[in-house]
Amino acid sequence: MSGLGGGSALLAGSDHLCYSRGMIERITHEGQELAIIIRASFAEPGLHFFTEPTYSQQLAYMRHPKDHIIQPHVHNEVQRTVRLTQEVLVLRRGRLRVDFYTDAREYLWSRTLSAGDVILLAAGGHGFECLDEVEMIEVKQGPYSGDADKTRFEGVNRGETQQDG
């Protein structure tokens, strides 16, 4: 991972940590990274990978000057095993509340995304509420496995959510 520059702060809650460095939030629970949020205001020059090499979904940010060239390339066929679906959401418009859950479906806390924010959902459970009309793009691994891909459950009630940070 590339250095991000800027200040950093460790935000602590009763049962989780949120590491914030500039406009990047790494949301963890009991040592497990649940999500990475890249806020719309993040604008560091260069190439920054935010994910560990072991993640099945890789997330990077690039900012290059005019006339910068990214060398042409092809991606080689490589056999990979994906055991857990990780997904990326790009919020184009509106506000979206993201509710985080443990693998045991216990509610932890919530975050609000705004237009231009990007989130990688790496582990645990999650649910959403559209706080405004929302337009977003979702990217995740395929092929889609139908009903085997996810388990739905009852989420937290709207009045019981806890915003952090």
Region 140-162 average pLDDT: 84
- 149 falls within a domain: no
Residue length of the chain: 165
Q: What is the pLDDT of residues 80-90, one digit of tens each?
A: 888 888 999 99
How much is the average pLDDT of 125-145? 93
Q: Looking at residue 2, what is its pLDDT?
A: 39
One-letter amino acid at 31 equals G
Q: Which residue has the higher pLDDT, 159 or 109?
A: 109
Q: How many domains does the chain have?
A: 1
Quick check: is 26 in a domain? yes
Indicate yes or no: pTM above 0.85.
no
Residue 67 confidence (pLDDT) above 60: yes
Category of 133 on φ-ψ map: left (φ > 0), alpha (ψ -120 to 50) or beta: beta
> What is the rounded distance in angstroms from the CA atom of residue 107 to the CA atom of residue 156?
6
Instruction: Evaluate whether residue 70 is within a structural domain.
Output: no
The answer to whether residue 160 is domain-embedded is no
Burial degree of 34 (CB within 10 A; 0-12, 13-18, 19+): buried
Q: Determine what percent of the chain is predicted with pLDDT higher than 90.
A: 64
Would 75 be classed as within a structural domain? no
- Give the mean pLDDT of the chain: 85
Residue 151 lies in a domain: no
Mean pLDDT of 6-33: 62
Task: Flag whether 121 is in a domain.
Answer: yes
- Rounded Cα distance between 98 and 101, Å, is 10
pLDDT in tens, 94-107: 999 999 999 999 99
153 in any annotated domain: no
pLDDT at 21: 53
Amino acid 66: pLDDT: 98
* Chain-centroid distance, C-alpha 159: 24
Its domain, for residue 93, covers 8-63+83-142
